[in-house]
């Protein structure tokens, strides 16, 4: 926990690199907490909001969009529906974002702390929509709580959590990545999430087990329903 402040910075700094495309800038903040709150709100409204620390400011970028017209439409929509002033903006390149990368480091120790915190929930009962560890929690609340303990705000539902972070393939999985599953083998809607812990295993609040437990991605049930993974670290 000694390096928690560094981890908070690292999570946002490394998990939200922006690439080529058209973006909307919806905020510039000196206060990180204010930036986090706006990002969480925008994500809850299903905007692909990314938080970036650049030139001493926390900046929120929405996108990327395929073309300028779509980006401008998003600006107008955000203003009309959410009363948030925004504007189209150039993306921040990897080179710009990584210009301070030497100042931060997501170390094995930090990842270990996150996984250790998740394991503290082993055996906590499962309850759909639950947000009380004594009475029961669901999968997305479990994930949200673990990341929140390290200062990172994730959306409340697994479907929205799937919309944030960097997409990674199964072969690229590292401990701390989020793994997502759909309800039916041939379905498309995300309805379950867990935290990858290595060796094809993940920890999650499972309906079937009725508690927080560890499962394998190779189990037939999860193998057929695996929908992808996202990296927040």
- DSSP letter at 122? T
Rounded to 5 degrees, φ, ψ at 87 are -155, 155
Using an 8 Å Cβ cutoff, are 24 and 90 in contact?
no
> In sequence order, which residues have a C-beta less than 8 Å from that of residue 120 and are 6 or more positions away?
none
Q: Where is 144: in which H helix or E strand?
A: helix 139-148
H helices of the chain, in order, are: 4-15, 32-44, 68-82, 94-97, 108-119, 139-148, 158-161, 220-225
- Which sequence positions are flagged as catalytic? 139, 192, 204
CA within 13 Å, CB half, 52:
27
Report the distance separating Cα 119 and Cα 204, nearest Å.
Answer: 10
């Amino acid at each position: 926990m000694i390096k928690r402040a560094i981890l908070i910075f690292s999570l946002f700094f490394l998990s939200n690199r922006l690439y080529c495309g058209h973006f909307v800038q919806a905020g510039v903040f000196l206060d990180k907490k204010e930036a986090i709150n706006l990002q969480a709100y925008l994500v809850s409204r299903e905007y692909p909001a990314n938080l970036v620390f650049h030139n001493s400011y926390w900046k929120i970028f929405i996108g990327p969009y395929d073309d300028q017209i779509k980006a401008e439409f998003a600006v107008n929509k955000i203003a009309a529906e959410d009363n948030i002033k925004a504007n189209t903006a150039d993306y921040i390149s990897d080179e710009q974002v990584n210009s301070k990368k030497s100042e931060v480091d997501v170390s094995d120790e930090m990842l270990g702390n996150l996984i250790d915190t998740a394991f503290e929930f082993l055996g906590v009962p499962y309850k759909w929509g639950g947000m009380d560890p004594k009475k029961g929690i669901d999968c997305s609340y479990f994930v949200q709580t673990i990341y929140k303990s390290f200062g990172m705000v994730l959306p409340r539902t697994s479907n929205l959590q799937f919309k944030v972070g960097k997409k990674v393939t199964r072969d690229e999985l590292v401990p701390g990545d989020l793994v997502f599953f759909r309800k039916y083998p041939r379905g498309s809607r995300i309805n379950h999430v867990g935290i990858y812990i290595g060796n094809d295993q993940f920890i999650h609040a499972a309906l079937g087990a009725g508690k927080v437990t560890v499962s394998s991605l190779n189990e037939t049930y999860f193998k057929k329903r695996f929908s992808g993974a996202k990296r927040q670290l």
